[in-house]
Chain A
Amino acid sequence: MKTPTVRRKASALRKRRASSGASAGKIHPVVIYPFRQSESYEDLRQLYAMVARLTDNPEIYARPITVVDRKTYYANAKNKHFADFRKNTVEVTSDILDAWCVDTCQMWYSGLGMAYERGGPNDVYWLIPGDFNYGSMVGHEVLSQLHDLPEICVELQQDVCIGEIATDHNNPKQIIDTYGTFALLYHWFPNQAREIREYTERPRSEFFAMRHAFLGEMLNRRWYAYEQTVVTLLYAVFDKKHISRFLVGHVSDLPEGRESVSSAMQQLDRTERVLKTLWRERNQSLPDWTKHYRVLESQSDQVRRTAMTILENLLS
């Protein structure tokens, strides 16, 4: 574990803030507890060891928030390890927000919303997904780098900083993004898709940090139950926000969350649904928008089917 690195960086950040003289805001960490509880707690132990170090730096970090889906809670109601870990680790290092959520993006909405209500104009909000292999060697490295995301927002006055995971070309999520997400994005929002791809190959990344004002704008718009990062990036481009992308390392989702063909199909369906809805919202005031929409919708169906054929061949 890179404890000295994180402490040294926190110390350096304090010095930079002190020397800048500016009224630097706080960083609000929001941890999304894994929906499926793994039998091994090693990844979560390492994650919450980092969260504990954030809690130890209250002049830089607001008290972290952990969002736990109530379905996760009830699924583990008789699991003593789960109860002990929650009480002795999660509760000690963070405030727990228990919520009934449609999907992970609603957990983000609840957690980021709660943090936003505690924050102020100079603050930055940092989303930390819980279901990654933080217990591995590469996971340790990632935990020592994740804090770069909110710090980039603070130091370089960025509205949003997306964390990118390095993956090989055969990584299922990368394959879905390359052949599915970007295909649909280029279809519905070609100009914005080009801009997004100049920053990242992973437009659905769960690692990001946002400034207070931009988060406030996003919270008050329609928040989607899924693929919210894509929507956030689209709005960042629509509104000419300051966007950064930074490498956070080589972690992978835990096995419980890995992709099957049916999961890929569901993700493509969701992405298309979100993009359609967003396109209608932005164009329904224009004359003859329905004609244009019908053409796009018909073409989109072909794009999605083609993407699904490719994904079936690659993931089966």
Chain B
Amino acid sequence: MSYRNKNNAHNMRSVNFVCDAPQAQSVALVGDFNNWNAHSHPMKKQADGAWLLRPELKHGHHRYAYLVDGVMTLDPRAMGVTRNDKNERVALIAVS
């Protein structure tokens, strides 16, 4: 799940990504914005077991997914669904 904080200039916005995976050992955020790199956006485990990351993203629409223990996982609360260049189902978010 994600929502938007409008607090930055230069068409960048801080966006909250929350992945509910209390049993996972590692969770990373991958998407168009990091070339689906499994290492550049690791998420941090919270006290309630959810994983959180607050990256800054450009205005516009982005494709993303969570890597839960290395497994590509669709955000069940995503605003949209599409496929990436590898034809995997991924989530969509609008940043404005």
Main secondary structure of the interface of A (DSSP, over half): helix
Segment at the interface with A among B19-27, B40-48, B76-84: B76-84
Question: Nearest Cβ in chain A — how far from B65, in angstroms?
Answer: 14
Interface residues on A, range: 20 to 34
Across chains A and B, the number of contacting residue pairs, with CB separation under 8 Å, is: 53
Contact with A along B71-89 (1 / 0, CB 8 A): 0000000011111000001
| B94: interface (CB < 8 Å) | yes
Instruction: Please determine whether B94 and A198 come into contact, CB atoms closer than 8 angstroms.
Output: no
Instruction: Please determine whether A15 and B81 come into contact, CB atoms closer than 8 angstroms.
Output: no
Question: Nearest Cβ in chain A — how far from B10, in angstroms?
Answer: 10
Query: How many residues of B are in contact with the other chain, CB < 8 A?
Result: 15
Contact of B11 among A12, A145, A247 (CB under 8 A): A12
Instruction: Please determine whether A12 and B59 come into contact, CB atoms closer than 8 angstroms.
Output: yes
In whole angstroms, how far apart are the Cα atoms of A145 and B61 in the complex?
12
Instruction: Please determine whether B96 and A152 come into contact, CB atoms closer than 8 angstroms.
Output: no
Instruction: Please determine whether A156 and B61 come into contact, CB atoms closer than 8 angstroms.
Output: yes
Instruction: Please determine whether B81 and A16 come into contact, CB atoms closer than 8 angstroms.
Output: no
On A, residues with C-beta under 8 Å from B are 5, 8-9, 12, 15-16, 145, 148, 151-152, 155-156, 158, 198-199, 242-247
A148-B80, A245-B81 provided; 12 other pairs, C-beta below 8 A?
Answer: A5-B96, A15-B59, A151-B60, A151-B61, A155-B60, A158-B82, A242-B82, A244-B80, A244-B81, A244-B82, A245-B82, A246-B79
Query: Can you report 24 residue pairs joining A to B where beta carbons are below 8 Å apart?
Result: A9-B59, A12-B11, A12-B59, A12-B96, A16-B11, A145-B94, A151-B94, A152-B61, A155-B60, A156-B92, A158-B82, A198-B89, A199-B81, A242-B82, A242-B83, A243-B82, A244-B82, A244-B92, A245-B81, A245-B82, A245-B92, A246-B79, A246-B80, A246-B94
On B, residues with C-beta under 8 Å from A are 11, 58-61, 63, 79-83, 89, 92, 94, 96
